[in-house]
Amino acid sequence: MFETLAIHAPDFDPTLTWLGAETPISLRALRGHVVVLDFFTSCCVNCMHVAPVLHRLEDRFAGEPVVVLGVHTGKFDHEQEPEVVRAAMERMGIRHPVLVDEGMRTWHAFGVRSWPTLVVVRPDGTLAAVAPGEPDEAALGALVKGELERARSRGLLAREPHAYLRESVTSTQGLRFPTKLASSARGLLAVSDTGHGRVLVWGPSGALVAAIGPRAGEFHGIEADLEEPQGLAFVGEDELFVCDARKHTVVRVDLAARTATIVAGTGAMGLAPVAFEASAATETALRSPWDLAATEDALYVALSGSHQIGVVDRSRGMIRALAGTGAESRVDGSGREATFSQTNGLVRVGEHLYAADSESSSLRAVHADTGETATLVYGSLFAWGDHDGAFLEAQLQHPMGLASDGRGTLAVCDTYNGAVKLASLETQEIRTLSRGLSEVTGAAFVGTEGTLVVAEANRHRLVRIAATGNQEPLALEVPAPPPPRLRPNHSLEAPDGAVRFFDEVLTSEPAAGPGSVSLEVVLHAGAHHHFAEGAPYTLSVEVSRRSDLVVPAFTAQQGKLTAGALTLTLPLTVTVPEGPAIASELVLHVRAMACRDGDDETSAVCEPFTGWWRVPLRLERSGAATVRATAVG
């Protein structure tokens, strides 16, 4: 589609700030290169999933005229500052230059609608693909390889690839981006030293008890295959549970036996939400488990990447969804109806779990047995603030951590407001305890005096906060970090076949009204191909724009292909505020088999098919209850 239209990519505004580049970068100066633009924002877990894919892409095409550039278009107020973006680059291991897209100027120039979005620019400066959502590695590798070969055959490639200085991330002394904390009844304190890929545990006196992670060393070392440890929870004094957001696992550490064992997750990122029907925990792929609460019988896991709360039955080794359909929004109700938005903090108090729903800037309550969900402090994907008072009036900005004092008070890490706040479950009020912190992401109560220890991620330290709000850096014995992990050089090779990369963007926008809406979508396999009748297909559904207003009944589906086109019916729940029409968009991802058209023997050739479609919707008060969209790949 783009090749036919020959749409030229707009160049960057030269007045914007670049990080990781000595001078402003222009696309015109990169003619002869395949340029991959990563539109991201630092808070977005899906954007975090893209970063390692781009690492491997850079490694695979090293020495070729391929340039990866980041475009950071901040969502929250806190994310607009260049130093915040620089810290996010360091935390995510981004080695290529990043444009700080002040005022969303580049976002609007490229017509981007959601985070993350990849834009691929050909060596002649025209657009090859605009792809919202997490990319398929094989398809991305195939696309870049194909564009290189096409440009090489036309003599369009640069003679010498442009190389930006890419400094590898180095290890530092002390802590590096500490995130989550947990304390035990007898005074053990554990921290996720996330930037170093390890967990450290100290005793009541401040002496080191254990260093847990890969290459943990001989001194207090417990070997564990961790990469990005986040949430922590003690059960008694000897059991410590760890969420690994990048390995997509939950690990049980036996501090007495000095062993570590995976109890949930496969080590690979899940492609679909966790089902409400129980399955073997170690055979179920998870998406970025970020925090947890633990009891003798159960582990409750905040699955940030699939926007769910999961529960592991410890005795049976089974996992199921407790609450959350997998859609990203904020909907209350039963566990099977509720939706969440990147829950990053979780704590259990009595019968309820309390969740810091980061992207919706909300505080949620989830019944630990039924999954029934309610919102205590309200926000949304596009509404946040900084206001104390009654729960119904208070506002937060991307809270990421919670802790309970066991007496009805929650400490809330109001991360992007740089504050720690106290929420009383009895009076239903919230007040600020302490301010001036740089991305406080985790907390734990210690002792009996209401003292908090918090992780101040961007200053790489732990801080003790007294009941008065006074802050004091916490001095603890921190062992030297392990050597940096070497990343495997994945090839991103893709099989030849009908692999597509967002080559169809619908231009018509059917108008949907409020309430229950049935969206009928007709998809074709594209020019000279048809779907293989009877073959299985898998479908994933994502609301890439205004997921606060459009909630699909399911986010994943499997079925059998029928003859001709693939016709899908997607039940939606649509909210339409008063005022003008609102633009929304869904992204559909289909994996299937496609066969070549024709009457000769070539028509019998069928190949793996991976297709993406962007389906726009217009939300109107007078819109229809049944809308139809047809796409031709």
pLDDT tens digits for 262-301? 999 999 999 889 999 999 999 999 999 999 999 999 999 9
Report pLDDT for 57: 93
Q: Is residue 476 within 8 Å of 190, Cβ to Cβ?
A: no
Query: Which residue numbers in the chain have pLDDT < 70?
Result: 1-6, 165-172, 216-219, 484-508, 526-528, 598-608, 631-633
Domains in the chain (CATH in brackets) are: 1-162 (3.40.30.10), 384-465 (2.40.10.500), 495-633 (2.60.40)
Tokens matching residue 541:
């559904």
Cβ-count burial 259-282 (b if 16+ within 10 Å, e if not):
ebebbbbbeebbebbbebebeebb
As a whole number of angstroms, the distance between CA 390 and CA 423 comes to: 9
Cα angle for residues 451, 77, 416 (degrees, 5° grid): 15
As a whole number of angstroms, the distance between CA 522 and CA 500 comes to: 17
Report pLDDT for 485: 63
- As a whole number of Å, the CA-based R_g of the chain is 25
Report pLDDT for 631: 63
Tokens matching residue 529:
């191909």
Q: Is 464 helix (H, G, I), strand (E, B) or coil?
A: strand
Report pLDDT for 83: 93
Task: Tell me the angle at which helices 137-153 and 45-60 cross, rounded to the nearest 10 degrees.
Answer: 40
Dihedral angle computed from the Cα positions of residues 111, 114, 116 and 118, in that order, rounded to the nearest 10 degrees: -20
Integer angstrom CA distances of residue 129 from 51, 124, 480 = 18, 14, 45
Report pLDDT for 465: 97
Beta bridge partners of 64: none
Q: Is 9 helix (H, G, I), strand (E, B) or coil?
A: coil
Q: Is the dihedral of CA 376, 380, 347, 573 positive or negative?
A: positive
Listing DSSP states for 200-243 in one string gives: EEE-TTS-EEEEEETT--SSSEEE---SSEEEEEEETTTEEEEE
Q: Which helix (H) or strand (E) holds 291?
A: strand 289-294
**Does the pTM exceed 0.85?**
no
As a whole number of angstroms, the distance between CA 412 and CA 401 comes to: 6
Name residue, tokens 């109560």.
445
